[in-house]
Amino acid sequence: MPYTVFYMNRRATEEVCQIIREHLPPGWTLTTPTADGDYSAELASCDFILVADEAITAEHISASPRLRMIQHQGVGYERIDLEACRARRIPVALIPEGTSVAVAEHTLLLILAVYRHLLRAATGVQQGRWMQWELRSDSFDLYGKTLGLVGLGSIGREVARRAQAFGARIIYYDPWVSPPANLAITRKESLEGLLGEADIVSLHVPLTAGNRNLINSRTLQLMKPGAVLINPSRGGLVDEEALTEALATGRVAAAALDVLNEEPPDPSNPLLRMENVLITPHIAAGTRDALENKMRSAFANLLRCSRGESPANVVQELKDLTGEDQGCHSTVKN
């Protein structure tokens, strides 16, 4: 039977929505938010929710009587009310596909841009400043530097592979991942050990209650003098006030951030005005290639659910809602 998918993303452009429609199964319908609506009409008629980075609350789930499953188009699900999903026996699935390569490439872009002062150099040319020698004493090669990866999931491993090609030495901290056999990489037994050794600290972990403000005034003090911080993961991993102070005092040389605590940021955020900070607007996974890969995986997963099968990549906290014998639950009949 045909199903309706609500793409819960008020900021998506029509071009993005058209790419998503191109991957819809035959006969299915994609609905998108109205300009100023409260989602009530879309939620009331949808069978599935496809979400990017908006919050899904208990109220949203209560307003969706036909809802069978929530499919996140990425891997960060901290804004979805899992307790409300459990109460309705609604699985929440993630899409690791399409994210790893794009985020890894963006991570290397941020590292190189910070090391070469790319933004200052390019803007300077536009403003009539030719800084051929002005930036030289404070620009660096990635070759020979120690890159410290906090988290070695699929994204962290892709970053490691690419950084190896630049001749970087790679260390990582992840208590749940053993050193991969195909990577020349050294595991550190503590975050503190990594911070004291790395020239570049790059974050590749999800945001949880246990690691919020993982980078704070204490851990920033443990970083190697002159080190830089890269965050393409989640803004909540970093205490922005503490980072601002560390950057202002020179304790941390520079930071490149694709994510912030508040997105878009308040114009008064001091990080926006710091010369040693590079901020991109949460675009690490934001390529057309990544989106198309994600949509292929997303609709393959929704098709599994529509057939009563167990979807792939259900979040750990809700895995008992699905299973080989149970399939994908629904509170309504087909």
- What integer pLDDT is reported at residue 323 of this predicted model? 54
Rounded distance between C-alpha atoms, residue 30 and residue 20, angstroms: 8
Rounded distance between C-alpha atoms, residue 103 and residue 204, angstroms: 10
- What integer pLDDT is reported at residue 37 of this predicted model? 73
- What integer pLDDT is reported at residue 322 of this predicted model? 64
Rounded distance between C-alpha atoms, residue 200 and residue 211, angstroms: 19
- For each successive 10 residues of the chain (334 residues), what is the average pLDDT? 93 95 97 85 97 94 97 92 96 90 97 97 97 96 98 96 98 95 95 98 94 98 97 97 98 98 96 97 96 96 96 89 53 36
- Length of the chain, please? 334
Its pTM surpasses 0.95: no
Alpha carbons within 13 A on the beta-carbon side of 46: 27
Alpha carbons within 13 A on the beta-carbon side of 128: 0
Rounded distance between C-alpha atoms, residue 200 and residue 146, angstroms: 7
Helix (H, G, I), strand (E, B) or coil at 55: coil
Closest CA to 42 of 19, 10, 75, 72: 10
- What integer pLDDT is reported at residue 330 of this predicted model? 47
Q: Are 290 and 70 a contacting pair, CB within 8 Å?
A: no
Residue 234 known to be catalytic: yes
CATH number 3.40.50.720 given to 100-279: yes
Domains 4-98+287-321 and 100-279 share a fold: yes
Residue 282 known to be catalytic: yes
- What integer pLDDT is reported at residue 331 of this predicted model? 43
Which of 263, 273, 275, 317 is labelled catalytic? 263
Helix residue spans in the chain (DSSP H): 14-21, 40-45, 58-62, 82-88, 100-115, 118-126, 154-165, 191-195, 217-222, 240-249, 288-306
Domain definitions of the chain by residue range: 4-98+287-321, 100-279
Residue 263 known to be catalytic: yes
- What integer pLDDT is reported at residue 273 of this predicted model? 97
Q: Which CATH superfamily is domain 4-98+287-321 in?
A: NAD(P)-binding Rossmann-like Domain (3.40.50.720)
